[in-house]
Amino acid sequence: MGFLRERMGKILAFFIGFALLAFIVSEVVRSGGSFFRDDSNELAVVNGEKVPYDKFNEKLEQNSAQFKQQGQSISPQIASYLQETTWNQYLSQLLIGKEIEKLGLTVGDDEMNVMIGDNNPDPQIARQFADQQTGQFDRSRFNQFKAYLQSGKADPAQKKAWSDFVIDLIEAKKATKYMTLVTNGLYVNSLEATDDYEAKNKLANFKYVSLDYASIPDAKVTLTDADYSAYYDAHKSSFKTPQELRDFEYVSFNAAPSKEDSAAVKQQAEKLAGDFKTTPNDSLFVQINAETKTPLAYQRKGSLDPKLDTTMFNAAKGFVYGPYLENGSYKVAKLVDTKTTFDSVKTRHILIDLASAGGDDKAKAKADSIKKLIQGGKSFAELATTFSADKGSAVKGGEIPSFDANGSMGGGQGNLVPEYYNAAYKANKGDIIVVKSQFGYHVIQVEEQKGSVKLVKVGVVDKPLTASSKTQTVAYSKAQAFLASLTSDNFDAEAKKEGLKPRTAEDVTAIASGLPGLDNARDVVRWAYKAAKGDITDKVFTVGDQYIITRLTEIKPKGTLTLEAVKKQIEPMVRNEVKAKQLKEKFDSALSGGASIDQVAQKVGSKVVPVENIVFANPIIPGQSAEYKVIGSIFGSAINKISKPVDGAQGVYVYIVNGFTNPPALANAIKQKEQINQVLLQRSQGQVLDALKDNAIVKDNRAKFF
């Protein structure tokens, strides 16, 4: 008994542990092993290094925020673009970072001090702290910002943002050093310079006869497996794909708003128009009834929608216009108010910065005291020079350009903050006022109020034109019935029976969001990457106002695609090669017996076309497209000798060179070398990144997250 009591704890621990292990194993099996491997956050693996999703997503959110700051909305297409762009940035930084690490490239303390110093800072810093008037770097503003960061009052978020910015600067500097090492190895020799000069300046004069591929109807050409194989083998290197691709075909059932739906929405808008005329609170009416809730504001002529601009400026207060259809919505607009105000206002100001003043209260007190000094007779210009944090205007006595009622200074000089221009428009000429904005406290003197301009305040209520539930139900029922009729091999036949024309989505990547005719199709793409070739979806997809039924037609794995995978793609080129053989035989028959170029043309039923002053660097035959192979052959031919048939891009050609005009000897090889080298420099960075990506082993799991 004692033995059991002594060991009971160990026995219980064993069984409890065993039970827990069994539970864990079952979870691993059920979830595909992610418990132990911790791959739930693994966005990708690059050369054995894991890329965490959260770290990548942080960068993606930064890029998205910057895009939004430009006043742009993020549609599904834009979201996909931002995600792809961020991925390319991230991958490039990761790959270059490894090369930098191998080479031991660093940024020293002295370099860092120069980059963020106040004498000759990095261009990004210079732009951020540029004077709004002159566009020049404002050293005092930058110094104030650095002092603010070092003070105990600095916002932690701002300090972190600055720290991240400095880290990015350092990494960018390292990347610049790496690229400099690469580009310093570029060299253009004298022979290359001479060849480039001649390619651009040596002239060829020739005559040609051509037979277009279009002269043989496609129906008269039979393509064999040997034809396909010959073309595929000759162009195999062009069929490499860096990632898996998929093709699928689909039919769609339209659930867009019907005429009845449009009439119903218009009727709702007509009722709103009547209510809008009598409402006692226009702003509240817009906020309650409009789909797009835009605040009511005074606007000048030219700033309204074209349909409203002329009408509202000639209407009486209370006038209601609409309903009218615009951008997929029925709209009703009301002229809420009109007023006449100054066309422009001229001011000068003294800016008191919160950080340098020691906080909000002290800045406000300083601004008030400066206002009193001005009212007491002190020179505004002198006080601006001494105290204003806006050094660009301070040197001009605080003067800034005139601006309109929207704060626009015109001439590409930007806009003032609303607090500033609203206060200036409400004040009287000569008034001195103190106003707070995001930049600090402004002591403003209104100097001039010029002109007169009419402004209107227009409220707009919009009702989107959407499909009714009846319209959607009818379209969905048709889609369901079509899906129910499908088997593994009757997709095309059933589509034809229903009068539907299948569309094809080719070379779809795993992270694609938009497809031809389908704006937001992520669910369809996810299905395609889980399906097997020939699979038909087991549900109806909803994409915008369409109901979609899909069938996977091709899986193209990463690497060199098989002939079967590209057969449809290369069919036009293979057909042209077969036609070229037939046209060459026709030319060969005409060329027999040493005929002239005119006789050849007569025999094949074509005409001789003279061409002059063609250069090798621009291989375009007038009236034709670019013909690289033909022009290349011409510059390698003897004079006055009829060529053999040459198959080009548009047809088969026979030509005779009349002569070449050689340019003067290259006098300045150095300049020619510099021009070539400049082109190489422009291409080098992209080519270096492409080479690093080609050599990298990348496991891309983005499709699991987006």
DSSP label at residue 662? P
Exposed, middle or buried: residue 365 (CB in 10 Å: 0-12, 13-18, 19+)? middle
Rounded Cα–Cα distance for residues 471 and 253 (Å): 11
Are domains 241-256+467-560 and 344-450 of this chain identical in fold?
yes
534-546: pLDDT as tens digits? 999 999 999 988 9
Reference 323, options 280, 264, 278, 282; nearest CA is 264
CATH 3.10.50 is held by the domain 202-239+565-661:
yes
The band of 477, judged by pLDDT with boundaries at 50, 70 and 90, is very high
Q: What percentage of the chain exceeds 70 in pLDDT?
A: 93
Reference 165, options 180, 145, 144; nearest CA is 145
Predicted local confidence at residue 412, as pLDDT = 54
- Locate all alpha helices (DSSP H) within 214-359, ordered by sequence: 225-234, 259-278, 282-289, 306-313, 354-357
Which pair of tokens denotes residue 61?
């959110």
Rounded Cα–Cα distance for residues 151 and 167 (Å): 21
Residue 38 host element (H or E): none
Rounded Cα–Cα distance for residues 644 and 654 (Å): 6
Asked if omega into 257 is within 30° of 0 (cis), the reply is no
Is the pLDDT at 234 greater than 90? The verdict is yes
Q: Which of 50-59, 77-86, 262-271 has the lowest mean pLDDT?
A: 77-86
Reference 121, options 173, 177, 61, 82; nearest CA is 173
Spatial neighbors of 263 by CB under 8 A, at least 6 apart, are none
The band of 194, judged by pLDDT with boundaries at 50, 70 and 90, is very high
The band of 26, judged by pLDDT with boundaries at 50, 70 and 90, is very low
Between residues 234 and 78, which one has the greater pLDDT?
234
Between residues 359 and 272, which one has the greater pLDDT?
272
- Using DSSP bridges, classify how beta strands 240-241 and 559-560 pair: parallel, antiparallel or unpaired: antiparallel
Rounded Cα–Cα distance for residues 393 and 677 (Å): 44
CATH number of this structure's domain 344-450, picked from the four choices 3.30.70.260, 3.30.470.20, 3.30.360.10, 3.10.50.40: 3.10.50.40
Residue pair 211/652 in contact by the 8 Å Cβ criterion: yes
What's the CA dihedral at 209, 212, 217, 223 to 10 degrees?
Answer: 110
Exposed, middle or buried: residue 37 (CB in 10 Å: 0-12, 13-18, 19+)? exposed
CATH 3.10.50 is held by the domain 241-256+467-560:
yes
Predicted local confidence at residue 358, as pLDDT = 82
Is the pLDDT at 361 greater than 50? The verdict is yes
Which pair of tokens denotes residue 33?
């092993």
Predicted local confidence at residue 575, as pLDDT = 97
Across the chain, how many H-helices and E-strands are there?
25, 20
Domain borders along the chain are 1-37, 109-185, 202-239+565-661, 241-256+467-560, 259-341+460-464, 344-450
Which residues share a beta bridge with 441? Answer: 352, 436
Rounded Cα–Cα distance for residues 616 and 610 (Å): 17
pTM over 0.85: no
The band of 8, judged by pLDDT with boundaries at 50, 70 and 90, is very low
Would you list the DSSP string of 341-356?
A: E-SEEEEEEEEE-HHH
Q: What percentage of the chain exceeds 90 in pLDDT?
A: 48
Predicted local confidence at residue 19, as pLDDT = 39
Give me the helix-helix angle, 156-183 and 109-116, nearest 10°: 120
Half-sphere exposure of 30 (CA within 13 A, CB side): 6
Predicted local confidence at residue 584, as pLDDT = 96
Distances (CA, A) of 400 to 135, 316, 390, 418, 447: 14, 36, 10, 15, 11
The band of 71, judged by pLDDT with boundaries at 50, 70 and 90, is low
Is the pLDDT at 410 greater than 70? The verdict is no
Residue pair 449/429 in contact by the 8 Å Cβ criterion: yes
Is the pLDDT at 268 greater than 50? The verdict is yes
Predicted local confidence at residue 39, as pLDDT = 57
DSSP label at residue 218? G
Predicted local confidence at residue 570, as pLDDT = 95
Neighbours of 312 (CB within 10 A): 22
Q: What is the mean pLDDT of the chain?
A: 86
Half-sphere exposure of 136 (CA within 13 A, CB side): 8
Residue 34 host element (H or E): helix 34-37
Is the pLDDT at 29 greater than 50? The verdict is no
**243 phi-psi bin (left φ>0, alpha ψ -120 to 50, beta other):** beta
Rounded Cα–Cα distance for residues 481 and 473 (Å): 12
Predicted local confidence at residue 452, as pLDDT = 83
Cα dihedral across residues 180, 182, 184, 186: positive or negative? negative
Helix (H, G, I), strand (E, B) or coil at 299: strand
550-584: pLDDT as tens digits? 999 999 988 899 999 899 899 999 999 999 999 99
Is the pLDDT at 33 greater than 60? The verdict is no
Residue pair 558/241 in contact by the 8 Å Cβ criterion: yes
What is the mean predicted confidence (pLDDT) over 633-649? Answer: 95
What is the mean predicted confidence (pLDDT) over 595-600? Answer: 90
Predicted local confidence at residue 374, as pLDDT = 92
Phi, psi of 699 (to 5 degrees): -105, 110
What is the mean predicted confidence (pLDDT) over 8-16? Answer: 37
Residue pair 405/424 in contact by the 8 Å Cβ criterion: no
What's the CA dihedral at 311, 312, 315, 320 to 10 degrees?
Answer: 100
Predicted local confidence at residue 248, as pLDDT = 93
272-299: pLDDT as tens digits? 999 999 999 999 999 999 998 888 888 8
DSSP label at residue 1? -
The band of 160, judged by pLDDT with boundaries at 50, 70 and 90, is confident
Exposed, middle or buried: residue 246 (CB in 10 Å: 0-12, 13-18, 19+)? buried
Predicted local confidence at residue 149, as pLDDT = 80
Predicted local confidence at residue 73, as pLDDT = 73
Which pair of tokens denotes residue 119?
């004498």
Predicted local confidence at residue 450, as pLDDT = 86
Q: Which residues of 418-451 are buried (b: 16+ CB within 10 A; e: fewer)?
A: eebbebbbebeeeeebbbbeebbbbbbbbbebee
In one-letter notation, the amino acid at residue 260 is E
Is the pLDDT at 34 greater than 60? The verdict is no
Q: Which of 27-41, 519-533, 619-633 has the lowest mean pLDDT?
A: 27-41
DSSP label at residue 620? B
Question: Radius of gyration (Cα) for the chain, nearest Å?
Answer: 36
Phi, psi of 558 (to 5 degrees): -60, 140
643-701: pLDDT as tens digits? 999 999 999 999 999 999 999 998 888 989 998 998 888 888 888 988 898 888 888 88
